[in-house]
Amino acid sequence: MGDYLVTPELRSDERIDQLYSQDIKIIQSPSVFSFSLDAVLLANFAKAPAKKSGLLVDLCAGNGAVSLFMAHKTKGSIAMVELQERLADMAARSVQLNQLDNQITVYQQDLATITEKIAKDSVDVVVCNPPYFADQPASKKNPNEYLAIARHEIKTNLETVIKVSSDLLKMNGKAYFVHRPDRFLDLAALMAKHRLAIKRVQFVYPKAGREANIVLVEAIKDGQRTGMKVMPGLMTYDETGEYSKPIKKMLYGN
Tell me if 10 is assigned to some domain.
Answer: no
Residues 1-44: tens digit of each pLDDT:
444 556 789 999 999 999 999 999 999 998 888 899 999 999 99
By C-alpha distance, which of 229, 159, 225 is closest to 194? 159
How far apart, in whole angstroms, are the C-alpha atoms of residue 83 and residue 145? 13
Tell me if 1 is assigned to some domain.
Answer: no
What sign for the dihedral angle of Cα 244, 42, 61, 110?
negative
Per-chain mean pLDDT for the chain: 91
Which CATH number do you get for residue 207? Answer: 3.40.50.150
Residues 35-66: tens digit of each pLDDT:
999 999 999 999 999 899 999 999 999 999 99
HSE-up (13 A, CA, CB side) for residue 181: 12
Tell me if 9 is assigned to some domain.
Answer: no
Tell me if 5 is assigned to some domain.
Answer: no
Give me the pLDDT at residue 7, please.
Answer: 78
Give me the pLDDT at residue 234, please.
Answer: 98
Helices (H), the chain: 37-45, 65-70, 85-97, 145-151, 158-168, 184-193, 245-252
Full pLDDT tens readout for the chain, 254 residues: 444 556 789 999 999 999 999 999 999 998 888 899 999 999 999 999 989 999 999 999 999 999 999 999 999 999 999 999 999 999 999 999 999 999 999 999 999 999 999 999 999 999 999 987 565 555 564 665 544 444 544 466 999 999 999 999 999 999 999 999 999 999 999 999 999 999 999 999 999 999 999 999 999 999 998 999 999 999 999 999 999 999 999 999 98
Give me the pLDDT at residue 153, please.
Answer: 47
Give me the pLDDT at residue 148, please.
Answer: 47
Tell me if 67 is assigned to some domain.
Answer: yes
By C-alpha distance, which of 160, 100, 109 is closest to 130? 160
Task: Name the residue range of residue 131's domain.
Answer: 15-252
Tally of structural domains, the chain:
1
Give me the pLDDT at residue 34, please.
Answer: 87
Give me the pLDDT at residue 33, please.
Answer: 85
CB of 175 closer than 8 Å to CB of 223: no
Give me the pLDDT at residue 5, please.
Answer: 59
How far apart, in whole angstroms, are the C-alpha atoms of residue 198 and residue 86? 33
Tell me if 138 is assigned to some domain.
Answer: yes
Give me the pLDDT at residue 173, please.
Answer: 98
How far apart, in whole angstroms, are the C-alpha atoms of residue 11 and residue 26? 13
Tell me if 242 is assigned to some domain.
Answer: yes
Q: What is the pTM of this model?
A: 0.90
Type of residue found at 97: L
